[in-house]
Structure 1
Amino acid sequence: MDAETGSIEGGCPFTGGNVDMRALFGRTNRDWWPDALQLDILTQGGKNADPYGDDFDYAEAFNAVDYAGLKADLTALMTDSQSWWPADYGHYGPFFIRMAWHAAGTYRTGDGRGGASSGQQRFAPLNSWPDNGNLDKARRLLWPIKQKYGKNISWADLFILTGNVAIESMGGPVFGFGGGRKDVYEPETVYWGTEELWVDQGVETRIIPDEGKALENPLAAIQMGLIYVNPEGPGGNPHDAEGMARDMRETFARMAMNDEETVALTAGGHAFGKCHGAKPADTFGKAPEGESLHTMGFGWLTDPEEIGKGHITTSGIEGAWTPNPTQWGNDYFRLLFKYDYELVESPAGAKQWTPINPDPEDMAPDARDPSKKVPTIMTTADMALKRDPEYRKISERFRDDQAALDDAFARAWFKLTHRDMGPKARYLGPEVPEETLIWQDPVPAGSKPSDGDVSAFKAKVLDSGLSVRELVKAAWASASTYRNSDHRGGANGARVRVAPQKDWAVNDPEELSNVLAKLDELRGNLSMADAIVLAGAAAIEKAAKDGGFDVSVDVTTGRGDATEEHTDAASFEPLEPYADAFRNYLKTKASVKTEDMMVDKANLLGLSIPEMTALVGGMRALGAVSKHAKHGNDIGVLTDRPGVLSNDFFVNLLHMGTLWEVVDESGDEEFVGKDRESGEERWHATRTDLVFGSNSQLRAIAEVFAENGGEKRFIETFVSAWVKVMDADRFDLAG
């Protein structure tokens, strides 16, 4: 851990500070709002909360939308000011940019969670975050348009498209738009932090170098309830210039942005609109999730007459950044460097900066009365673009080169709003850019081999001398990087052949290299991506047959091969598993229970409880555990016939003749199973093995697989789950 930068290199993605059981789940909506109506009982037993049902094809619906009409309606909305929430400067554009930005800006690279891809801003806790103050009104302003276009445009897509239209309507540059974000209809379980207070309630900042406190992975925001950083400064300190730049650099990096993108986004976003801090925050109502029933989901309420006068508070900072808040241009940088700034307090008591002796033409119009002029402002975060040497170089270049700023902002905004969409193959609509960007993890198109080529290859693989164990491990190493949070990773592209994946300890690099070399020798016209997955399928079919079952592992083919040129190696580092229970791998003991990390991994793979259980048991039976696991090569296998696909793991785990004891030096990570009668050591196992016998819900599944007649059900579940993981990233097959 680097206390100066707050970065954690190669560490547990859930470790940092005093982490407890909330290190995977954090505070839940029930913790924050215990009186809110709880509906989760109605989704028990796999019941679907989606009113459109499982058969709804959103891609088909989106492709049928009147796209030009939708954009025209959004453009008209920008200047259709409503009395119940009047538009600043007569234009809602800046408001909708903030809505889109905050919908997308929760994305973090550590686990791929957050972001705009499922419309989570509609639900708690995001709908009630302090940093999302008054965005409930933006969503209500959009409701008539959502109602009109119905199923043809999701809320998730509408948020981002509205932000794009807002930029265009004010003359700003837009790189493109890709639809395809399908809504969900319940809050997603995402770890937002362990803190018990919001940022506006005095919660401590997450980086304190003097105390050796770094920003905990996988978090990206600096304080609970923020999207990025505290605009008043680290912990509200406007004089900590170095800390402000550090916080910005760290949090934006964890959201996949480099320095240039950070500067472009900050300046481009702040070219529009204003901050709101007309009155102290305690004069306003509660956040939406905690408000009274009759407010109908609105929050942060105040007197309607006060709203009409512009007397609202969001961040607490008050004022516009530029004299032209609804027009794209370079006034932001021009003013930032033209003036010296002094520290003042807003009417709400927030710390902000105003130019000293500004020229009249550099004053901003009042949001409600254009005949009045008021000083422009900068936040402490804005001042970092001038104070920090590296940010300053970029800012001065953008100040002097409008075209460079235009291009940088358009590209950074596109990345911000599409980073969690995954491969370009998922993008829909007429405004998808032709250019393919490196952060989209491009994979060249593959070609589908014939059935004869597949059969011949499988036969050669099984006659190659490579073991079932080796082939299964290689296929799993290739495919199991997939994350359904941001749709990154997976077997398509065979990036397991290139850095950094080929060198990950969990993949047993030396063994992997030998396997890949042999497959490359045998594959003929097949892509390496197909060869790796098909070799794993062939191994499983053989392992099942050796156990008396004929199965067909019907993985798809037609994958392409990515090269180093297609791969931003640094961006793949967060995908490296700290723990992989399926291979019984744990780098070192962590403050989070190993079995909790197993559940998290299964969630990112999109697995059900039975699928997770079957895969763990099957991988053990096949001997597909990592050599580099902390506990050794064969721990947790629990079978006398490794390499045979059997239910032995469950049968032996649940055998009543075995007594399990902790191996003292393991720190409760390793266990030995002894015969109850003789005391003879029989098995060695880890936490992620024994949890399938100790946890009542997992044991119930394990018992099904272990009972007489359960082996067939186990094998069917294992094969189905295996194919699901292997094919999880086949978005190139859409349509």
Structure 2
Amino acid sequence: MLTISNDKTNTQSYDMQGKCPFGGDRIGGAVSTPPALSDWYPNRLKVELLHQNGPQANPLGDDFNYAEAFNKIDLAALKEEIKGFLTSSVDWWPSDYHNYGPQMIRMAWHSAGTYRIADGGGGAGEGLQRFAPINSWWDNGNTDKSRRLIAPIKQKYGSALSWADLMILTGNCALEIMGFPTYGFAGGRHDAWEADNATYWGPEVIHDLRTAEAPDKMVNRDKRWRGQNGDADYDLENPLAASHQALIYVNPEGPYASGDPLGSARDIRVTFTRMAMNDEETVALIAGGHAFGKSHGMVPSKEIGMPPEIAPMEAMGLGWHNPRGKGNAENTMTNGIEGSWTPNPTQWDNDYLTNLFKFDWKQEHSPAGALQWTPVDPNAPKTPDAHIPGQMNRLMMMTTDIALKVDPEYRKVCEKFLGDFDAFTQAFSKAWYKLTHRDMGPRERYLGPEKVNENDLLWQDPIPLADYAPIDDADVQALKQEILGLGISVSDLVFTAFSAAVTHRHSDKRGGANGGRLALAPQKDWAVNRRTVPVVEALRKVQEKFNGAAAGGKKVSLADLLVLGGCAALEKAAADAGVPTDVPFTPGRRDTTQELTDIEMFTWLKPVADGFRNYLDRNFKDIAQGVAPEEFFLDKAHLLALTAPEWVALTGGLRAMNANHDNSPYGIFTDRVGVLTNDFFTVLTSTDYDWKKADATGMTFSLEHRSTGESRYVATRADLVFGSNSQLRAVAEVYAGSDGHQRFVKAFVKAWDKVMMLDRYDVKTSYSA
């Protein structure tokens, strides 16, 4: 027998007789799971996280063009197929009210609802609901059935329709068949092919959230919350956006199943703000979503089987086995709360808000033991049972619903929507579109005839289309020479170009050099960018001169000039190092405006730490809460979609240029600043020197010669990590070798171009775009 534990108290046993026990040591007749590297060395830097979802995991191959394949689909015909399925029912998982719509809305909502603005993590963009840990969160109970139900449609369309797109499109179709006018739908989400091991979902160990009737066994709130609910300093750990582990947003029974509506409202505001939603969008989403369907809580949670990731083999990827009755239909168990919010759960109307405010509500417990609310008035409307003909049931509200009524600000929004159903409909339509598309990035990634092309969606970080001809190769060469003739150092030019591009986040495709937002608030005012200000102003003058004199309607954007200046500087630096190199440059970036820049949302891109530019926020110690600078550095490399060799090469080149935010000497292991040497690596891997702590906290270091004791260079943790971490050092040693200089320059230029092009979705065509 192999015994696998998912927490300290709950185990699941599997019959493994006759299997080869090479996976671990035999203990007491059982085979133990071998410890992972993180068990042996919990503080090691997990550089391998940079290599998730590599080409080896992708069965479609790097040359597969998803946009091309998706655009061949007849979207109208596909939607009709989905809608036909939604109003059917199958025996193995019958539909509520003979309509799968509500449960598909939940699947789509939960696929998108993991998104968080702090780091762009989560969201529907890669179909990660298919994999652990998300597929086995208690809050995602029975979404495995929803995906399995639409699998025949996915199989029919194959690689031309990603799971990520299908889940959101099915949610849209579900809304439409129930009378709701959706705002639009865009395809373009590319599936991941393995579990997400990089996203930080919280500090808690895996635990059993099924014991909701025993709140004392729930996760300790202090692990992700600071202060107690109601305190002035009550706050959720950054970047998290769910109140408890294994939830999408908040506990529907209130904080820690307390039944406290005001406490629930506070949690809702914190978590939905982290999802980039304001109060009106929050109310619209909750009230709109709860206009449909029902919640399920007919069986105590302790009777429900294990989630998909650790369910028995014969379950074939389906979890949460229900042993009661049919195991579904009138016996269904999902989150433990039982009932519908409205008398007509398959029709878009305003009954949810009408009932919430018309009646007083009292607490009771569901058949599963979960806390919920029912009308005090016995004459309140009833709702038909989802499966038993002729049976009528009382209405239900969750603690999170009552929260909208008792919170003063949420109440104002509710009253507005009660008095103007059209305004409510429009608000929910736009909020749903934002929820399901927030992590897709620029509109160049949007596919299909239903994509919304309006410029008023500020959360899409709009960049106006160019109304001029782009610059050509001759212009590029002339502009390079003019920029180099400005008297700006190659170091400053490289730093400015990199600062424009490094804001990009591959997670939600935000940031980057396109748009020229380095010259706009809030980025122009960040301390890390102060060094760019005079360079930006000088390049503005180059832009004005060129655009005033260019013929044929040609213009150059500031965004292009920012990148071009860095490329020109690097070509000079490489030539000065004896390795003449052409640094690729692709024109076509466009400038946006301050009015089209959401300052609050872009503030989330401000770095706490940026190892590439050797930057730490002045309040880093308080913000980081014990997380080391190199962990932030790794995270930034991950957000830039870099591999380990790219990370090493890019950093070494930036150090050769002295791209430190403040021109400090940290990590500048060369006497030839501005020349693209491999000196950073030769010094870093040298055995002639010792590194010594320069401060008690171990944040800075000095290099001393072993023989003379001479102190020559200084460094930060963001420098020495490339010598101390075994995987990064192995790469650094390659670039430090006698044959490593040219290899390094080639690798650096390739990594540089990758970062400069990360946000160029207007020219990308690959599946991984």
TM-score by length of 2: 0.88
1:617 aligns with 2:652: yes
Distance 2:695 2:167 in 1: 54
1:648 aligns with 2:679: yes
Q: Among 413, 437, 454, which residue is 2:432 paired with?
A: 413
Deviation at 1:214, TM superposition (A): 2.3
Q: Among 72, 97, 115, which residue is 1:107 paired with?
A: 115
The equivalences for 1:430-445 within 5 A come to 430-436=449-455, 437-445=457-465
Distance 1:603 1:263 in 2: 34
Contact kept in structure 2, 1:319 and 1:377, CA below 8 Å:
yes
Distance 2:400 2:116 in 1: 20
Answer with 453-462 or 326-335: which moved more.
Answer: 453-462
- Deviation string for 1:668-721 (max 9, x for gaps)? 110000111111111101112111111111111111101112100000000000
Counterpart residue number, 1:561: 591
Distance 2:169 2:434 in 1: 14
Answer with 256-265 or 656-665: which moved more.
Answer: 656-665
Deviation at 1:209, TM superposition (A): 3.2
The one-letter amino acid paired with 1:163 is G
Counterpart residue number, 1:6: none
1:302 aligns with 2:322: yes
The equivalences for 1:116-195 within 5 A come to 116-189=124-197, 190-195=199-204
Contact kept in structure 1, 2:385 and 2:392, CA below 8 Å:
yes
Distance 1:370 1:307 in 2: 18
Distance 1:198 1:101 in 2: 23
1:203 aligns with 2:232: no
Which portions of structure 1, spanning 4 or more consecutive aligned residues, are displaced by more than 6 angstroms?
34-38
Distance 2:292 2:34 in 1: 36
Distance 1:529 1:259 in 2: 34
Contact kept in structure 2, 1:127 and 1:288, CA below 8 Å:
yes
Q: CA RMSD in A?
A: 1.9
Gap change, CA 1:45 and 1:482, over 3 Å in 2 = closer
Contact kept in structure 2, 1:137 and 1:298, CA below 8 Å:
yes
1:502 aligns with 2:524: yes
- Deviation string for 1:60-94 (max 9, x for gaps)? 11011122221111001111111111111111000
- Deviation string for 1:296-318 (max 9, x for gaps)? 11111124743355112111111
Q: Among 399, 411, 424, which residue is 1:392 paired with?
A: 411
Distance 1:288 1:316 in 2: 18
Gap change, CA 1:37 and 1:165, over 3 Å in 2 = farther
- Deviation string for 1:449-487 (max 9, x for gaps)? 122221111111111110111111111110010000000
Distance 2:728 2:685 in 1: 12
Q: Among 633, 639, 642, which residue is 1:604 paired with?
A: 639
Distance 1:545 1:692 in 2: 26
1:220 aligns with 2:241: yes
Distance 1:155 1:681 in 2: 57
The equivalences for 1:660-679 within 5 A come to 660-665=691-696, 667-679=697-709
Distance 2:335 2:250 in 1: 12
Contact kept in structure 1, 2:488 and 2:535, CA below 8 Å:
yes
SS in 2 for 1:672: strand
Gap change, CA 1:579 and 1:223, over 3 Å in 2 = same
Gap change, CA 1:448 and 1:68, over 3 Å in 2 = same
- Deviation string for 1:15-56 (max 9, x for gaps)? xxxxxxxxxxxxxxx9xxx97999x99x89965111111111
1:658 aligns with 2:689: yes
Q: Among 375, 380, 405, which residue is 2:399 paired with?
A: 380
1:637 aligns with 2:668: yes
Contact kept in structure 2, 1:337 and 1:386, CA below 8 Å:
yes
Deviation at 1:653, TM superposition (A): 1.3
Distance 1:72 1:259 in 2: 34
The one-letter amino acid paired with 1:594 is P
- Deviation string for 1:387-436 (max 9, x for gaps)? 00110010011011110011000000000000000011100001112323
Counterpart residue number, 1:683: 713
The one-letter amino acid paired with 1:221 is A
- Deviation string for 1:146-183 (max 9, x for gaps)? 11111111000000000000000000120000000011
Counterpart residue number, 2:472: 450
Deviation at 1:604, TM superposition (A): 0.5
SS in 2 for 1:307: coil
The one-letter amino acid paired with 2:720 is L
SS in 1 for 2:166: helix
Deviation at 1:249, TM superposition (A): 0.6
Contact kept in structure 2, 1:498 and 1:564, CA below 8 Å:
yes
Counterpart residue number, 1:62: 70
Distance 1:678 1:63 in 2: 68
Distance 1:150 1:595 in 2: 41
The equivalences for 1:86-97 within 5 A come to 86-97=94-105
Distance 2:526 2:327 in 1: 56
Counterpart residue number, 2:39: none
Distance 1:327 1:292 in 2: 38
Percent same amino acid at aligned positions?
A: 53
Contact kept in structure 2, 1:83 and 1:308, CA below 8 Å:
no
Distance 1:593 1:330 in 2: 50
Deviation at 1:657, TM superposition (A): 1.3
- Deviation string for 1:502-523 (max 9, x for gaps)? 111111x2x3221111011112
Distance 1:711 1:553 in 2: 16
1:265 aligns with 2:273: no
Q: Among 249, 258, 261, which residue is 1:237 paired with?
A: 258
Distance 1:46 1:262 in 2: 36
Distance 1:36 1:624 in 2: 43
Contact kept in structure 2, 1:154 and 1:181, CA below 8 Å:
yes
Contact kept in structure 2, 1:198 and 1:225, CA below 8 Å:
no
The one-letter amino acid paired with 1:576 is K
Distance 2:87 2:304 in 1: 26
Counterpart residue number, 2:42: none
Counterpart residue number, 1:363: 382
Deviation at 1:558, TM superposition (A): 1.1
Q: How many residues align?
A: 692
Deviation at 1:569, TM superposition (A): 0.7
Distance 1:463 1:358 in 2: 83
The equivalences for 1:263-342 within 5 A come to 263-303=283-323, 305-342=325-362
Contact kept in structure 2, 1:595 and 1:691, CA below 8 Å:
yes
Deviation at 1:733, TM superposition (A): 2.2
The equivalences for 1:709-728 within 5 A come to 709-728=739-758
Distance 2:141 2:439 in 1: 23
Counterpart residue number, 2:8: none
Counterpart residue number, 2:510: 488
Distance 1:723 1:522 in 2: 23
Extract unaligned runs of 5+ from structure 1: 1-29
1:464 aligns with 2:486: yes
Gap change, CA 1:147 and 1:47, over 3 Å in 2 = closer
SS in 1 for 2:275: coil
